[in-house]
A and B are shown apart, each in its own frame.
Chain A
Amino acid sequence: AQTVTQSQPEMSVQEAETVTLSCTYDTSESDYYLFWYKQPPSRQMILVIRQEAYKQQNATENRFSVNFQKAAKSFSLKISDSQLGDAAMYFCAYKGYGGATNKLIFGTGTLLAVQP
């Protein structure tokens, strides 16, 4: 069974600085998808960035980028120029490539605080 591990329960960053959130996963599949979701106090899950495992290039979305290390099964999120609005719970998630479902497997989350 696939698992997702986030070893940092809480992180803190100064406004305008850079922070990296860690995620590791375990799977025997060769093709899959990885995601970072943001959950602010409103509790709605917001997709931040996605990575297809078959793509070697790391995904980037504005100030958000990932470091995808397939062999190490590592998928970290880097937030550059942190803003107060980035404060939220961040979840790493895995989804298999094939099969009949699009079930997401989530980690336990990292609570990010942004200090002014």
Chain B
Amino acid sequence: DTGVTQSPTHLIKTRGQQVTLRCSPISGHKSVSWYQQVLGQGPQFIFQYYEKEERGRGNFPDRFSARQFPNYSSELNVNALLLGDSALYLCASSFSGQGGDTIYFGEGSWLTVV
């Protein structure tokens, strides 16, 4: 089975620009979550989507948005990029998004803002 896939793997953006990161969950998984991992820290929860509906949102500004498509893939958008948005963005998928689901992570998208 194909795991969680993310694209692009690396990208460099300029302050003030906008970025879109993409994620395809494991086949059969209906829930997708996004995490931000700044260098030297643990991942921080940004969003969770299930069946195209937002299930949860972390403590991130409105510049961060996401959506989930009918095929359960997801996009994370960040507007008006700041230097502090430089991080590894991890996508995770699970079957139902609840309870005892095992959560699987992709390899991440490295975003550098200059």
Contact = CB atoms under 8 A, between A and B. Distances in A.
B70 interface: no
A109 B37 CA distance: 11
Contacts of B58: 103
Interface residues of A, number: 27
A64 interface: no
For chain B, give the interface size range: 20 to 34
A105 B99 CA distance: 14
Given A44-B105, A45-B105, A47-B104, A104 B56 contact: no
A103 B45 contact: yes
A95 to B, nearest CB: 8
B56 A45 contact: no
Interface of A: 4, 33, 37, 42-47, 50, 52, 91, 93, 95, 97-109
B41 interface: yes
A102 B48 contact: yes
Nearest to A43: B108
Nearest to B110: A43
Given A91-B43, A100-B56, A109-B41, 12 more contacts: A33-B100, A45-B43, A47-B103, A52-B100, A101-B48, A101-B55, A101-B97, A102-B98, A102-B99, A104-B43, A106-B42, A106-B44
